[in-house]
């Protein structure tokens, strides 16, 4: 055999081997895609929220609300009595303050109310960060620091903010930590969260602690209302619109509050309020039901969380967790379908590295080559050179997780409307019902908000949904608290001349 023949045979063998490699790579690649597609398809099925299931969730929410109102510990829903029995009406007049303590910063606000038809004339606030040593120090040190800042804020006021002689300044105190409330302006601290650990404050009345510190500053100011930010959102909504019956926060966390008839609260043992109403802080993030569509990713997230078994509803619908669910699914696809190459990118294994704002940005990416998705994968997860096909999978995944969350949030709202009898028309009566909403998730994740509002219409039906309105109510923890100080003022009914 000549040299020429040997060369030809060798070249043919190389070509055949190369072709075999290409075929093997294509087969492997198509196997990977088949696995990736199967994982996404299974997720979509498990996250499914058909209308029948959502009705079951809404019914379960209403049932749990009844149980939580009947007795303490009767339900996963705490249904906390807020002692707010007078919501603002829009006629409040005068100067009121708010202190909003919910994390490593606190805000002090001043709100001037103009009375009927005039609304909020002016508002000012200052934000102060809390030194780390005070977050783990003593109760006196923390409240003395806060009261000193409050006194500084008041000291800078001009002549426009002078009160009539003998009149005390009044303040609404938003305290976003677990408290056992015993009246509109008293409540004992159950435990600290969010990095605070001040042992001698636990079991103490936080209003008494703040009042003592205010007195030390020589400031004549009374704490009129101790409130939760969701109750504040309800107050802010009602001040602007008398048809507001409930408020929902959809942000990092989630909660709901609503107006209940006092006689429909079996666990209430006090005198019935004159208004006949009582605001209930549901703490609905802790809602749990067999009807909730949970996946393996939700179970593992819950097991590894700081509060396993608690806040299950919150872990499905709120901003703290949506991005993390997406990360967990991507991690599985990377492991089982080598979506991002033969090894799992190290950053993808880091819990909570993918935040919900990143997820939202990817979900909203309308560019033809999904440039935003490419950049977030590269900058946040250090995954480079992704194909358009891979980026489309990521967007689909964001859509599945956000859609489930939004539709469940809508079912929760319908559960609340059902409890207060606003989910259907009675005797042909068409009354407008407003739900006040606040929170970064609702405000900034448009696909989520849109899906939630569409689902509400789907659940309520066209006719009823025409009378149900969702309104954005901003800054319940600040302005809402000042408004509650006004509606629970000691000077109510005193003629202001």
Model-level pTM?
Answer: 0.88
Catalytic residue among 100, 144, 205, 229: 229
Give the separation between CA 473 and CA 88, rounded to whole angstroms.
Answer: 14
Alpha helices in 304-387 (DSSP H): 312-317, 319-337, 356-363, 371-381
Give the separation between CA 246 and CA 208, rounded to whole angstroms.
Answer: 29
Residue 358 annotated to the active site? no
Give the pLDDT confidence of 26-78 residue by residue, as tens digits: 445 677 889 999 999 999 999 999 999 999 999 999 999 999 999 998 999 99
Strands of 45-178, DSSP E:
80-81, 93-101, 105-114, 120-129, 169-175
Question: Residue 204, Cα to own-chain centre: how many angstroms?
Answer: 27
What are the strands of the beta sheet with 93-101, ordered from one edge? 120-129, 105-114, 93-101, 169-175, 221-227
> Residues near 257 by Cβ (< 8 Å), separated by ≥ 6?
82, 228, 230, 231, 233, 234, 246, 247, 279, 280, 281, 282
Give the pLDDT confidence of 454-483 residue by residue, as tens digits: 999 999 998 899 999 999 987 778 899 999
**Which pLDDT belongs to residue 1?**
55
> Residues near 196 by Cβ (< 8 Å), separated by ≥ 6?
135, 136, 177
Average pLDDT rounded to a whole number, residues 87-93: 90
Which among 175, 163, 184, 176 has a CA at the least distance from the CA of 87? Answer: 184
Residue 194 annotated to the active site? yes
Q: What residue ranges define each of the domains in the chain, with the CATH number in brackets?
A: 49-79+242-474 (3.40.367.20), 83-227 (3.30.420.40)
Higher local confidence (pLDDT), 195 or 389: 389
pLDDT > 70: what percent of the chain?
92
Among 284-293, 374-383, 460-469, where is mean pLDDT lowest?
A: 460-469
Catalytic residue among 152, 156, 191, 194: 194
Give the separation between CA 451 and CA 414, rounded to whole angstroms.
Answer: 14
Strands of 206-272, DSSP E:
221-227, 244-250, 254-261
Higher local confidence (pLDDT), 496 or 321: 321
């Amino acid at each position: 055999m000549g040299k020429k023949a040997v060369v030809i045979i060798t070249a043919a063998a190389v070509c055949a081997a190369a072709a075999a490699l290409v075929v093997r790579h294509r087969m492997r690649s198509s196997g990977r895609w088949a696995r990736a597609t199967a994982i996404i398809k299974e997720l979509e099925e498990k996250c499914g929220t058909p209308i029948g299931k959502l009705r079951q969730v809404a019914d379960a929410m209403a049932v749990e609300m009844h149980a939580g109102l009947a007795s303490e510990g009767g339900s996963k829903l705490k249904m906390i009595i807020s002692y707010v029995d007078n919501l603002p009406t829009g006629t409040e007049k005068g100067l009121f303050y708010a202190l909003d303590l919910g994390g490593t910063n606190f805000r002090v606000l001043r709100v001037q109310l103009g009375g009927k038809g005039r609304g909020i004339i002016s508002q000012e606030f200052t934000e102060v960060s809390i030194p780390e040593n005070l977050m783990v120090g003593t109760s006196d040190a923390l409240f003395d620091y806060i009261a000193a800042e409050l006194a500084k804020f008041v000291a800078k006021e001009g002549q426009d903010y002078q009160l009539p002689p003998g009149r005390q300044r009044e303040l609404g105190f938003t305290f976003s930590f677990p408290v056992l409330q015993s009246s509109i302006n008293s409540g004992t601290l159950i435990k600290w969260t969010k990095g605070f650990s001040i042992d001698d404050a636990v079991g103490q009345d936080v209003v008494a602690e703040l009042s003592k510190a205010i007195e030390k500053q020589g400031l004549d100011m009374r704490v009129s209302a101790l409130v939760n930010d969701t109750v504040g959102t309800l107050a802010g909504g009602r001040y602007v619109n008398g048809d507001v019956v409930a408020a929902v926060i959809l942000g990092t966390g989630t909660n709901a509050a609503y107006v209940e008839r006092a006689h429909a609260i079996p666990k209430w043992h006090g005198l019935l309020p004159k208004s006949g109403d009582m605001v209930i802080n549901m703490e609905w993030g802790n809602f749990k039901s067999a009807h909730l569509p949970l996946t393996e990713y939700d179970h593992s997230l819950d097991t590894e969380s700081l509060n396993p078994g608690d806040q299950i509803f919150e872990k499905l619908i709120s901003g703290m967790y949506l991005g993390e669910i997406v990360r967990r699914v991507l991690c599985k696809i990377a492991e089982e379908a080598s979506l991002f190459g033969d090894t799992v990118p190290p950053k993808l294994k880091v819990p909570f590295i993918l935040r919900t704002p990143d997820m939202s940005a990817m979900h909203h990416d309308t560019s033809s080559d999904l440039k935003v998705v490419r950049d977030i994968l590269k900058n946040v997860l250090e995954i480079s050179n992704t194909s358009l096909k891979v980026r489309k999978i990521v967007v689909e995944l964001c859509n599945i997780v956000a859609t489930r969350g939004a539709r469940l949030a809508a079912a929760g709202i319908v559960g609340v409307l059902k409890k207060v009898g606003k989910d259907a028309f009675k005797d042909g009566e068409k009354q407008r019902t407003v739900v006040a909403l606040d929170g970064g998730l609702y405000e900034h994740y448009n696909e989520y908000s849109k899906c939630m509002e569409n689902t509400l219409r789907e659940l309520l039906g066209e006719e009823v949904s025409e009378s149900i309105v969702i309104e954005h109510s901003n800054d319940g923890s600040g302005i809402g608290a000042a408004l509650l100080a006004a509606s629970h003022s000691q000077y109510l009914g005193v003629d202001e001349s």
